[in-house]
Structure 1
Amino acid sequence: MTQKEKILAFMREDAYKPLLIEELITVLDVPREEIGHFLSIIDELEADGRIIKTKKNRYGIPERMGLVTGRFQGNERGFGFVVPDDETIADVFIPLENANGAMHNDRVIARFTRAIIEGKRAEGEIIRILKRANETIVGTFESSKYFGFVVPDDRKISQDVFVPKDEFNGAKTGQKVVVKITRWPEARRNPEGKVVEVLGHKDDPGTDIVSIIKQFNLSEEFPEDVIKQAERISDTVPENEIQKRHDLRHLKIVTIDGEDAKDLDDAVSVERLENGNYRLGVHIADVSHYVTENSPLDKEAFKRATSVYLVDRVIPMLPKKLSNGICSLNPQVDRLTLSVFMEIDKTGKVVDYEIFDSVIKTRERMTYTNVTRILEEEDPELIERYKDLIDDFKLMKELALILRQKRIDRGSIDFDFPEAKIILDEKGKPVEVKKYEITISNKIIEEFMLICNETVAEHMFWANTPFVYRIHEEPDPEKIENFNKLIYNLGYHLKGIAKIHPKSLQQLLNKIKGKKEERIISTVMLRSLMKAKYSHENLGHFGLAAKYYCHFTSPIRRYPDLVIHRIIKENLSRGITPAREEYLKTFVQQAAKQSSDQEIAAQEAERETEDLKKAEYMQDKVGEVFEGVISSVTSFGMFVELENTIEGLVRVSSMEDDYYIYDDKHYSLIGENKKKIYKIGDEVKVKLVKADLATRQIDFVLVEEIENDGQLEDDKFYTIPETGLANKKAKVSTRPKKREKTKEKEKTKKRRKK
């Protein structure tokens, strides 16, 4: 146990009362020569919000003092929520007047002002801001005669940034800018700043994506020392390094990726053994050979933690010299790899495996499209072109389907939510939006990578060394109980909800496949589960029903993969010393936290660019009518998803045929008067009325329902949620009557004019 952990454990004891620093030194028996180090640890814990110093200079744990440490999640209307570091604590609502200058994503400490009452969230007040998240803000500049202001692109930052006239730095109205905060906001006072970069006019081509890149603090450029280190790396593999490794260049090894992929970090091979089993080889680029620990390349990779795949470009974790060059498993060239060979029987069980350093030379750079055309369409031209590999592809399909069936049988959950593929022209304008098709070749690579990741994770777990696992924790029983109540109303039921097994959820997905209620059940199920993340602890992967799991197969684009490659190689070659183990214990925690945080940022940036281009694609289609499916229902309206994955909002305020009440237990909108119900999964016709690039918002209005099964029969007794009124006694909407009165008034006015 580290000294930090000892201090925290001591303060968490039931008998502990907040102590002065001198008392802590005495009670914990800190040697005189270590007092300076002890004080620095206390400062670090306080700065991170893990302990807090009271006004009387006493130290304690926030949660023991009615406080909570976490991240402030802002809202465009000024209020927000504190998302606690402790995931067992629910989010805390922060009213506008209690935000006290906190901005979106700031690390804060909040005091509870109201406990959870009758299902309502706890409320709180920000009392301390530990770390500011927004030193710079991207937005649209507006100027007046004496001052200017920047309207943030991130709508979760509710306040405009005031800019003094002498800090415009050439910015003009309508331009996208980066503004540096010079004075943080206070109660009833906006933040102040100065323009440090002008990105271009908001309507100029390309400015939109650049603004998002800046908003999420992504960098397309690498520091000079990183570039210099990359340039010193040879473009070819030296012979002396080949001699140290298993030489696999004679094997039929291929990569299978998308047409646009340039960072090819995984390759596969397969053969049938004499005993009838399969020998699957997964060969992963040995990035750790080139990105050495604590080097400039490594520090920059740690900082980025992931490559970011925006709609029109990739922002790589590593310079292209590596990601597209010496580390990419390009065809017909020698490449250094870490190989995992697995012997798999006919049931999909791994009966034997080995992991070692290797050198490979891939035969072909295959694409998902071509492999699918070979296997599913038996394309004669492609079969002739790749005739030496056809049997291998057939064997890959055979093995992948076995592995997939085994995974499904054990309870691995497979959601079927469509992904979008956005086609841009040479100017970056979207010309087509369609569903990304998942083919047999995608499934081959997915299954091979999954089994490889599991095999490596289990191997390293039993090696008992520090490691970075990919975990997906068990869901909150309360959320599963609420989910079970929802599906009960739809005619389904889950068993064992106190400790749900993923197999129960997958069986439910199988039952609803192709049925009208599939969308609502799948959506709410996903919301009921935890989010996957990286961790130094092996807590299993609930969604995959896997006891051991890690990310091993993409070290070019994910930092956790790179870290565990180092640990695996070190463990294989010379073992890990006790001193080294202590260092790694701390480092893998840092790497897991950084990688999880950056993964979220990358996902948000990718989603922003996708939403932007979808809105841009729809701009010239205002007035057109589309068929879609209700994908989500909220108190303010319902989201409708079109066949091409584009999603827009139908606002309750636009639904003028009735007053609609939101039923949060059934995720539906219910008409007070006509009892019409709109719920997730219903098919509707909508007309596009607005596509706003600034907000990335697409607005629809209802035209008509395609299937009117939301209409309740007159003789059915139905209680309207929140009102408690039965349908025959329900309060009747006055809106239609008001509209009739208005029409009568207009007719009267016309008669008078005549």
Structure 2
Amino acid sequence: MTRKPAPKHGAALPSAEALRDFIAEAGTRLGKGDIARAFGVAPEHRQALRAMLRGLEREGALVRAGGRRIRAAEALPERCVVEITGTDRDGDPMGRPVPWTQPGRPPIVFMQPERRGHAALAPGARVLARLRRIDGDRYEGRTLKRLDDEPATVIGVFRAERAGGWVEPVERRSRAEWQVPAGETGGAETGDVVRATPLPAFGLGPKPVRIVERLGKMGDARSISLIAIASLGIPVEFPQAALDEAKRARAAPPGKRTDLRAVPLITIDGADARDFDDAVYAEPSGPGFRIVVAIADVAFYVKPGSALDREAKLRGNSVYFPDRVVPMLPEALSNGWCSLRPNEDRGCLFVEIEIGGDGRKLRHRFGRGLMRSAARLTYEAVQHAHEAGSEADLPAGTLGHLYAAYRALAAARAARGTLDLDLPEREITLDDQGKVTGVAPRPRLDSHRLIEEFMILANVAAAEELERLRQTCMYRVHAPPSPEKLDALRSLLATFDISLKPGDQILPRDLDHILKRVAGTDAAPLINETVLRSQSQAEYAPETIGHFGLALKSYAHFTSPIRRYADLLVHRALIAGLKLGQDGLRPEDGADFADIAQSITITERRATDAERQSADRYLAAYLVDRVGEDFAGRISGVTQFGLFVSLAETGASGFVPMALLPDDFWHYDEASVTLSGKRSRIVFRLADKVTVRLREAKPVTGGLLFSLVGGGGIRHGGAAGRHEPKPKGRKRPGTAPAKSRRRRG
């Protein structure tokens, strides 16, 4: 039992040692109010108490335990079994200790990259790792021993030989090929993308595999998405029970639903979209607007505990590729009864929201309704009609009111101070045969922003409504950047003579101010990307810590239950809390939310990884016929081993290894992030424009290899200026020593 200190009315602050002892003895999660009451801290000292707790958190003595609560940090042993759960933004594996029986979320272990020749750690793999505490509940891990003798499956491209052949793994970090003995080829031919299983191996030398499935031809661009699906274990086929349930689906009856069929709700999606799960409407209301956001009533068709529910929970989300979609729900629902097709009656959950003229939400009301979409429009068509002053055959004022409401919401967002990253998305277009025909920036129109603001507004209303109802909620949370990432960001910004305010209490508007400052400059793409990398990854959780990027206290995904399981849970919680039907969240379901949150966070990151890998491979396939051509690009990364370069034309990223740099003695300065030649006095720095020649493009891994054209770089004493390497022996505090490396011709 926790020994509670005797409170003293109006007491000053306890000592740090007393705080540590009290929180450690509590053995549970505590709020700041609990601690203040236990020590009788006077109101005027509570801000100082918060500062003390933040200090203990930075020291690693405390960790966050959901919501605004904390607990004592229990250090993991130096050696620990770690299960890989996914990858971070850089593609490096991350995991959790096994087993984990403590209250709250398990610590996160960021695994260091494997040595060359070792296959990358895949989700589900377990390793014995040596751990080093970074801070709080975050650790760095280095693999001591793989506990899975071999991967359960190998995805790669087969190359036949006289007797058997070889499989080249699709994992970019895997250097070693697998040998296929005679009689184990499964009928595969050279160029086939295959799935293989390891065979027993004796002694040294290449490890053998048996080919068990042919997935397609590497020359066929459609095989690219299959590689990601197979290598990451994304479920594709639905069990028959789930298909049967979807087949039995019928139209939602009017019942007690609110009739919205007279409201001209419209869907606005991409031209290639096949499922339409959100519809919007706006009209003036006093100085502000009345907004209606209607979402497909997926909960009506996917009942808790059903075969459809089990499969949706397993998948977590839909996964999108340039040539296909791996849906969370069968097509009979995702493209049928749960798609808000124009001029067809559909069941929906809706939220009616009143906003003021300044865009701030005044009130909201949720309900279950029956709607009929007035039109299915694309972003481009809506933008064109609005700019032309047309209503696109809709009732007068439909688009005009939507845009007016959007401008009010955008003003409220600006006043709130959110992080608005400018990271153009590349759109890959394919022909009927699946071959890449073009890669271009996806346009970012006001029509995109309009839908985004309406969806954010509805998501905020959903979170607030569930809090009002004291109902279990699956929050979308986004923690502030860690102190280490902020330090790394400051170091980079310093190379551009940009300063970020000191301390760890950074607000989204502080970062957004920097983005606006560099907008339109050569450094803007790099700084936007670096600010993105400095962010914590958003995740799902049953308790809120707020959403840093959107500058919101509470946020929950409500608007896409067709493709995200989290949204379906939010719908069920609203149905239960507002007594809108018998298919809402069951009382016992809330106990599983922590485990479900971790699971769907992992599946979301798996989907992101699959989409990124596929994009890299499609780009490599697109460029494979252009090997030998020269391209304009910018330096996006500088390391002691060479340069990363992003191409202006396609956004594809590749590597210039040290061996392909001009013959020189190269000096890498980690503080200024530069690579400088001692003899040539050439300096390579981040964001510099360069011309590169494509030396190699490998669709199997998505890797691109470049060499510089004309040497590149900036000569010392010229425009390099503030990016010149520091004098020998000097370095900034907290950075690793500069490294030098000779590249011989």
Taking structure 2 as the reference length, the TM-score comes to: 0.79
Structure 2 Cα separation of the partners of residues 203 and 620 of structure 1: 12
After TM superposition, give the deviation of residue 659 of structure 1 in Å.
3.6
- Gaps in structure 2 of 5+ consecutive residues: 1-22, 28-72, 98-104, 732-737
Matched residue of 1:197: which SS? strand
Identity of aligned residues (%): 31
| Match of residue 625 from structure 1 | 630
After TM superposition, give the deviation of residue 446 of structure 1 in Å.
0.6
Larger Rg: 1
The answer to whether the 8 Å contact 1:177/1:199 transfers is: yes
| Match of residue 333 from structure 1 | 344
Structure 2 Cα separation of the partners of residues 675 and 340 of structure 1: 63
After TM superposition, give the deviation of residue 66 of structure 1 in Å.
2.2
Matched residue of 2:349: which SS? strand
Equivalent residue runs for 1:20-39 within 5 Å: none
The answer to whether the 8 Å contact 1:93/1:124 transfers is: yes
| Match of residue 443 from structure 2 | 437
1:549 aligns with 2:568: no
Deviates more, 1:443-452 or 1:605-614: 605-614
1:268 aligns with 2:275: no
The answer to whether the 8 Å contact 1:619/1:691 transfers is: yes
Structure 2 Cα separation of the partners of residues 320 and 307 of structure 1: 12
1:255 aligns with 2:267: yes
The answer to whether the 8 Å contact 1:82/1:110 transfers is: no
The 3 A distance-change label for structure 1 pair 291 and 377 is same
After TM superposition, give the deviation of residue 614 of structure 1 in Å.
1.2
The answer to whether the 8 Å contact 2:152/2:198 transfers is: yes
| Match of residue 566 from structure 1 | 572
The answer to whether the 8 Å contact 1:74/1:156 transfers is: no
Structure 2 Cα separation of the partners of residues 685 and 204 of structure 1: 30
1:124-162 deviation digits (Å, cap 9, x = unpaired):
453573x79943222123455666553322234555445
The 3 A distance-change label for structure 1 pair 328 and 178 is same
The 3 A distance-change label for structure 1 pair 704 and 161 is closer
1:140 aligns with 2:160: no
The 3 A distance-change label for structure 1 pair 596 and 643 is same
Q: Which amino acid aligns with 1:296?
A: A
- After superposition, the CA RMSD in angstroms is 3.8
| Match of residue 607 from structure 1 | 612
Structure 1 Cα separation of the partners of residues 272 and 326 of structure 2: 14
Structure 2 Cα separation of the partners of residues 286 and 132 of structure 1: 46
Deviates more, 1:275-284 or 1:710-719: 710-719
Matched residue of 1:498: which SS? coil
The 3 A distance-change label for structure 1 pair 631 and 297 is same
The 3 A distance-change label for structure 1 pair 725 and 566 is closer
| Match of residue 668 from structure 2 | 662
1:217-248 deviation digits (Å, cap 9, x = unpaired):
234432211111111112x34xxx21310001
Match of 2:480 among 474, 479, 496: 474
1:361 aligns with 2:372: yes
The answer to whether the 8 Å contact 2:150/2:198 transfers is: no
Equivalent residue runs for 1:427-506 within 5 Å: 427-506=433-512
Q: Which amino acid aligns with 2:614?
A: T
1:70 aligns with 2:82: yes
| Match of residue 144 from structure 2 | 126
Equivalent residue runs for 1:691-730 within 5 Å: 691-704=697-710, 711-713=716-718, 720=725, 723-724=728-729
Match of 1:169 among 186, 191, 206: 186
After TM superposition, give the deviation of residue 618 of structure 1 in Å.
1.5
After TM superposition, give the deviation of residue 531 of structure 1 in Å.
0.8
Structure 2 Cα separation of the partners of residues 187 and 538 of structure 1: 53
Structure 2 Cα separation of the partners of residues 211 and 395 of structure 1: 45
Matched residue of 1:91: which SS? strand
1:286 aligns with 2:294: no
Structure 1 Cα separation of the partners of residues 719 and 384 of structure 2: 54
The 3 A distance-change label for structure 1 pair 481 and 174 is closer
1:586-628 deviation digits (Å, cap 9, x = unpaired):
3222221121111111112112221122112212223333322
The 3 A distance-change label for structure 1 pair 15 and 723 is farther
The answer to whether the 8 Å contact 1:454/1:550 transfers is: yes
Q: Which amino acid aligns with 1:244?
A: K
1:225 aligns with 2:232: no
Matched residue of 1:336: which SS? strand
1:91 aligns with 2:110: yes
The answer to whether the 8 Å contact 1:291/1:297 transfers is: yes
| Match of residue 50 from structure 2 | none
The answer to whether the 8 Å contact 1:475/1:529 transfers is: yes
After TM superposition, give the deviation of residue 674 of structure 1 in Å.
3.5
Q: Which amino acid aligns with 1:373?
A: H
1:703-733 deviation digits (Å, cap 9, x = unpaired):
2589x7664249979873695389xxx9999
- Which structure exhibits the higher relative contact order, with contacts defined as CA atoms closer than 8 Å and separated by 6 or more residues? 2
Structure 2 Cα separation of the partners of residues 122 and 219 of structure 1: 30
Taking structure 1 as the reference length, the TM-score comes to: 0.79
Structure 1 Cα separation of the partners of residues 391 and 272 of structure 2: 24
1:317 aligns with 2:328: yes
Structure 2 Cα separation of the partners of residues 597 and 574 of structure 1: 31
1:180 aligns with 2:197: yes
Q: Which amino acid aligns with 1:596?
A: T
1:537 aligns with 2:543: yes
1:487-514 deviation digits (Å, cap 9, x = unpaired):
2342222225221111111112112212
Structure 2 Cα separation of the partners of residues 402 and 189 of structure 1: 67
1:435-457 deviation digits (Å, cap 9, x = unpaired):
00011111110110011111111
Q: Which amino acid aligns with 1:454?
A: V
The answer to whether the 8 Å contact 1:631/1:641 transfers is: no
Structure 1 Cα separation of the partners of residues 363 and 717 of structure 2: 59
Structure 1 Cα separation of the partners of residues 435 and 571 of structure 2: 40
Structure 1 Cα separation of the partners of residues 445 and 150 of structure 2: 41
The answer to whether the 8 Å contact 2:693/2:708 transfers is: yes
Equivalent residue runs for 1:188-203 within 5 Å: 193-203=209-219
1:388 aligns with 2:395: yes
1:446-478 deviation digits (Å, cap 9, x = unpaired):
110011111111221233222211111111123
Q: Which amino acid aligns with 1:547?
A: K
Match of 2:313 among 284, 296, 302: 302
Structure 2 Cα separation of the partners of residues 592 and 332 of structure 1: 36
- Gaps in structure 1 of 5+ consecutive residues: 1-11, 17-60, 740-754
Matched residue of 1:270: which SS? strand
| Match of residue 750 from structure 1 | none
Structure 1 Cα separation of the partners of residues 493 and 720 of structure 2: 24
Q: Which amino acid aligns with 1:177?
A: V
Structure 1 Cα separation of the partners of residues 117 and 219 of structure 2: 37
The 3 A distance-change label for structure 1 pair 655 and 199 is same
Aligned length: 658
| Match of residue 60 from structure 2 | none
Structure 2 Cα separation of the partners of residues 491 and 470 of structure 1: 35
Matched residue of 1:271: which SS? strand
The 3 A distance-change label for structure 1 pair 422 and 132 is farther
The answer to whether the 8 Å contact 1:471/1:549 transfers is: yes
Structure 1 Cα separation of the partners of residues 450 and 664 of structure 2: 50
Matched residue of 1:648: which SS? strand
The 3 A distance-change label for structure 1 pair 462 and 714 is closer
The answer to whether the 8 Å contact 1:633/1:639 transfers is: no
1:670-715 deviation digits (Å, cap 9, x = unpaired):
2233333222222222233322222312233222589x76642499
1:516 aligns with 2:522: yes
Deviates more, 1:446-455 or 1:472-481: 472-481
